[in-house]
Amino acid sequence: MPITLHLPTVLAKLADGKVLDAEGETVGAVVADVATRFPALAPRLRDGTGNPYPFVTFYLNDEDIRFHGGFEAAVQDGDELTIVPAIAGG
């Protein structure tokens, strides 16, 4: 399933830019696809066991994936996945 991945600026430098095309049947598969293509980005998206961090939230079409099965959440053609890391500046 081809989908669009939106990265925050702080992570974009570890990939090809802020907007990436990615493939996968689930959010976890999409993350794995991106992690393979951009190894430096991988540890910022998931922990050593392949699970999401509690301080990086993934939104699939504006819905928090934690309420839709986490990395098991199924994706459809044309979905948009947005990655929102915790920031604390003020």
Residue 69 CB neighbours (<10 A): 13
**Per the structure block, which two tokens stand in for 56?**
């990086």
Kind and range of the H or E run holding 10: helix 9-12
Select the residue interacting with other proteins from 17, 49, 77, 90 (CB under 8 A): 90
Mask for 45-84, x = binds other proteins (CB under 8 A): --------xxx-x-x--xxx-xx--------------x-x
Closest approach of other proteins to the CB of residue 72, in Å? 17
Q: Given the rule CB under 8 A, which residues bind other proteins?
A: 8-10, 18, 40, 53-55, 57, 59, 62-64, 66-67, 82, 84-90
